[in-house]
Structure 1
């Protein structure tokens, strides 16, 4: 058993031990133990989460509530932390859905909502947050209609104290669990737009909360021309993505540690970067509107790649993949790729002494896309002049940096990819390459 496996086993055992002690602890001790359990959850990977958070564990929590061995307040604190890490680490955990605890929460939410007087909104919001973050499945329609207004109301709190900010962050993170569903768009679009616009003026949200607001907006509303105009020209998605990536790049401590030695050290900023990339890549691949700020977005991705180059291969990988997507996107122009530094980064990656197969494929994919752009002649005389000038600049840069030799060394793999057979390549694609 490896040291990492042993560490993981110790974390799981320690968590289970603390959980079992909850039954015998007083109110204050329960809070302390839940705090320690939260630290352990921050260090768990996906497999450890699945090992710990079984249907049996959720049924135990239900029994503890039933036997009054844990208060609802402490239950919600614990479950919010479980849901928080499930969402933050993008873990799929299906065990909650069929548990007795899930059924209890569904019943409680419906009964509390039906009350004509004395409705406990704080309890409702807490139940909704736990339920939607842990469920990892389609939320039943009757609960969806109940959940959304309360969570959006909680997310709209503009108080500046830390407790309020944490509550807003939790509400917005819970909203990221909603995919596109049959709802009245007008009913919720204005609310989430107001949250985003208010933050752009006052910067009142945490980074995770702001990113989560965008995820909810982009997930729940349909992809059509008018909606794209809203996010690009009214809410300025590209501008905001640039700002967030650049600030996060400055704030992360890019230590030169081996990625496999970073267990438990993945900081929140790194996770938020990866979450931003999820929606940036969707936007790049699906957008139809031209935006003059694309060059800035490419430039911020290039800056992030170089910051993460010596320590975080995962972030470098999403940077390269994003550039490959941008090279295929019609609204992203060659000048954006050239001036943003995308071409430099593609060849910098290919020049690495060791190559990740997936990154190699994405780099070459970007090269082919750029080449095809430069080859395509236009009937417009002015556009043709621009194309030829761009072609000249790209090839001058390749010649200046010696990139032509790199491309030649990848000839066999390029031939495979050009014929759309790249999915049939050996998993060890780097075996095809000559190290320049």
Structure 2
């Protein structure tokens, strides 16, 4: 009978207490390999509060060094984020509190401060915690931005930068932080990459995610994001590059090579970041149409075999349709209307996707019903209305909406934003 992956981990970790520091260091790569092979359920069953508390006790009893603890936990945190494991146990552990205290104490040392140790502690703390403590952000953010700044493109260095930026991207979007803490350095990192291409695709995405996540609480960032750093253009270019190397015909869960799996991971993160961007950005730019085009292209490629990604594409387009700075013409030209129309007519839809699609068409319908004094805008709106009307009529959209009568009631009960029960709210009329 074969040993399960969790049993292999537990056996190997139990041997730690009887090993000296060098022997432990030799075992860590083997443990990391086991961690990489875990699925989400295995990960959550192994990395519990009890395990973290046990590690904390081992540190107290000098059975494991801080250096080896960091070596182990940094990889665990990195793997956790790539697997998208929602694991709250570290937050509750005595080890988390130890790391908090060590970060604060190391920062206080000033001249005697060990920069590498502080960065390692910050990375572990952010990668393993669900929320983290806002009081530590003023220490962790400058420290990790400094670690990521202007590093050359060597493989070892790229990995270090990737981990630092991944850790920063874990900071929850609703936490407010002062722009002085991050703006100059994150702008430098992105601009330097635009010129020198020194970041890995994941590191580049993480840098953008960190910045876009700050947008909700810092509206003044819009000018930098849109006009100085050209986010829409960069996101479109990155999505185009990433999608070239993915075989979209492989079904979800089917074995991919490592490079392909990494591309899919980064694409998912980009689409999720776009979802946040369209939710909070209030500054229009001419690059929206191209960006919608690539979201639609990914939706089309992923819809049959990668539902998680295709669903995220629909979520992003729904947010874009609700955003008042996005023009209906942008959605039309980028193919967003066609994609959501195609999705709402698919046979296998869950209620969340139905909800998002209906929200999309409700927002488009509302926008087209608005009155406008500007004659040029009136003409453009009338043209858009006619084009959308013809698309919907040709595809039998009204019958599709009518068939969702029961679904509308379910969505009203289960979702935080009630949908209108008036079918005319989802229709575009001439």
Q: Please, what TM-score do these two structures have when normalized by structure 1?
A: 0.84
State yes or no: 1:403 paired with 2:395: yes
Of 148, 154, 168 in structure 2, the residue corresponding to residue 155 of structure 1 is 148
Of 12, 21, 27 in structure 2, the residue corresponding to residue 18 of structure 1 is 12
State yes or no: 1:119 paired with 2:113: yes
**Alignment match, 2:282:** 288
**Alignment match, 2:404:** 413
| TM-fit CA distance, 1:361 | 2.6
CA distance in structure 1 between the aligned counterparts of 2:406 and 2:176, rounded to whole angstroms: 46
CA distance in structure 1 between the aligned counterparts of 2:288 and 2:110, rounded to whole angstroms: 51
State yes or no: 1:302 paired with 2:296: yes
**Alignment match, 2:180:** 186
Quick check: 2:279–2:320 contact (8 Å CA) kept in 1?
yes
Count of matched residue positions in the alignment of Structure 1 and Structure 2:
413
Of 71, 74, 78 in structure 1, the residue corresponding to residue 68 of structure 2 is 74
**Alignment match, 2:344:** 350
Quick check: 2:144–2:164 contact (8 Å CA) kept in 1?
yes
* Superposition map of 1:15-414 within 5 A: 15-25=9-19, 30-31=24-25, 33-115=27-109, 117-139=111-133, 141=135, 143-179=136-172, 183-220=177-214, 223-257=217-251, 259=252, 267-399=261-393, 402-404=394-396, 406-413=397-404
CA distance in structure 1 between the aligned counterparts of 2:97 and 2:279, rounded to whole angstroms: 39
Which structure 1 segments of 5+ residues have no match? 1-5, 427-436
Quick check: 1:42–1:264 contact (8 Å CA) kept in 2?
no
Q: Please, what TM-score do these two structures have when normalized by structure 2?
A: 0.85
CA distance in structure 1 between the aligned counterparts of 2:47 and 2:83, rounded to whole angstroms: 14
Quick check: 1:289–1:331 contact (8 Å CA) kept in 2?
yes
Tell me: CA distance 1:421–1:70, structure 2 relative to 1, closer, same or farther (3 Å).
closer
| TM-fit CA distance, 1:42 | 3.2
Quick check: 1:157–1:168 contact (8 Å CA) kept in 2?
no
Give secondary structure in 2 for the equivalent of 1:267: helix
Quick check: 1:284–1:326 contact (8 Å CA) kept in 2?
yes
Quick check: 1:256–1:310 contact (8 Å CA) kept in 2?
no
Tell me: CA distance 1:185–1:221, structure 2 relative to 1, closer, same or farther (3 Å).
farther
Which structure 2 segments of 5+ residues have no match? 416-430
**Alignment match, 1:423:** 412
Structure 1 vs Structure 2 CA RMSD: 3.0
CA distance in structure 1 between the aligned counterparts of 2:406 and 2:105, rounded to whole angstroms: 64
Quick check: 1:157–1:164 contact (8 Å CA) kept in 2?
no
Quick check: 1:132–1:139 contact (8 Å CA) kept in 2?
no
Quick check: 2:150–2:189 contact (8 Å CA) kept in 1?
no
